[in-house]
Amino acid sequence: MAWLAADADFDPDTFKCPVIGIGALLGEHDSGIHQHQRGQLLFTQQGCTRISLAHQLCLLPPTRAAWIPSGVPHRAVMQQAVDYRSVYLCPMLAKQLPAQVRVIEVSGLLRAVLEAMAMAPFDTDWDQGKYAHLLGLCLSEINEAREQPTRLPLPRDKRLAPLLNNLEQLPPELQELQQQVGASGKTIGRIFLRETGMGYQQWRQQWRLIRAIELLATGRSIAYCAFELGFASDSVLIAFFKAMTGTTPRGYFK
């Protein structure tokens, strides 16, 4: 394993070993847009990471992992202090995992496996012994892991550019959006269904969920989130969160 300093220059594609693991503790950090020949599993033990992809945002909350397939351009922006592990898999191994970006729940077993893999020397033999077993467990756990609802597809239609200029702010109600972009509600609905697979209201609710997770993960209170995201009260936000994730905010971050 390489323990990386914040300013370290690291390229996993320069190594011959089929599996490369690293760890780091970073403050505010922006990776810039980049891609790897290898697939990457990024696991955050603490802190929150926003991953930008082509026409899509992914949020990586603490104790979850993001699988990024080979060759996918992405940008990772880490907020506050982020303690993470990354495991990079050669293209042949990456083909055994999903072809799309996924944010997954990390089981206790997968967490232990990732830590051991991240600690492995760069010249480890992954074809036999305990490391071969660890690799097999890792691939199996990733494929079977439950996906997290922290992806937000983004519309590409130029008429909706004003909506996407500042994704930190609560998206407007549909009537206000109609006035902003000069399109009818039906037109906006068709655009969202075609380009995101969701209606506008559903997309707005997904935005609220992701933003709530992001704010809570970076230390904001329930009361702050409820006000910031346009909920009438703390209890309304908690009920919304449970309806979307199956658990309360406290349960989600436990």
Question: Is the confidence at residue 169, as pLDDT, over 60?
Answer: yes
Question: Is the confidence at residue 185, as pLDDT, over 60?
Answer: yes
Q: Read off the pLDDT band of 54 (50, 70, 90).
A: confident
Question: Is the confidence at residue 3, as pLDDT, over 70?
Answer: no
Average pLDDT for 230-252: 95
Average pLDDT for 42-53: 88
Q: Read off the pLDDT band of 35 (50, 70, 90).
A: very high
Cβ-Cβ contacts under 8 Å for 51 (sequence gap 6 or more): 42, 57, 58, 59, 60, 66, 68, 74, 75, 76, 77, 101
Average pLDDT for 114-143: 94
What are the residue boundaries of the structural domains of the chain, listed by start? 2-144, 154-253
pLDDT of residue 99: 94
pLDDT of residue 5: 58
Is domain 154-253 in CATH 1.10.10.60, yes or no?
A: yes
Question: Which string of b and e fits 231-250 if b means at least 16 CB within 10 Å?
Answer: beebeebbebbeebbeeebe
CATH of domain 2-144: 2.60.120.280
